[in-house]
Amino acid sequence: MSFSKEFTDYGVVKIEGRRIKIYKSPSSYVSITNISEDITDARWVGDNTIVVYLKSGRVRKYQTLSNYITIL
């Protein structure tokens, strides 16, 4: 299941340590928490994808909270 339109419309992604908060309103969010490396950047790409850049140089594409593919 991909991210709902509420999240992509609001468009806020916040890095907190080794997790990412994905907001659908100022006070409502879900988290990606299965990241075992430090995060340098995270941003929306397209309609339902979050790209996460890790300190090691790896890049992950998330289309759900738990499923990702590693690009590099």
pLDDT at 1: 62
pLDDT over threshold 90, residue 2: no
Q: What is the pTM of this model?
A: 0.90
Kindly report, residue by residue over 26-63, the tens digit of the pLDDT: 999 999 998 999 999 999 998 889 999 999 999 999 99
Q: For the residues of the chain, what is the DSSP string, one character each?
A: ----HHHHHH-EEEEETTEEEEEEETTEEEEE----S-EEEEEEETTTEEEEEETTS-EEEESSSS-EEE--
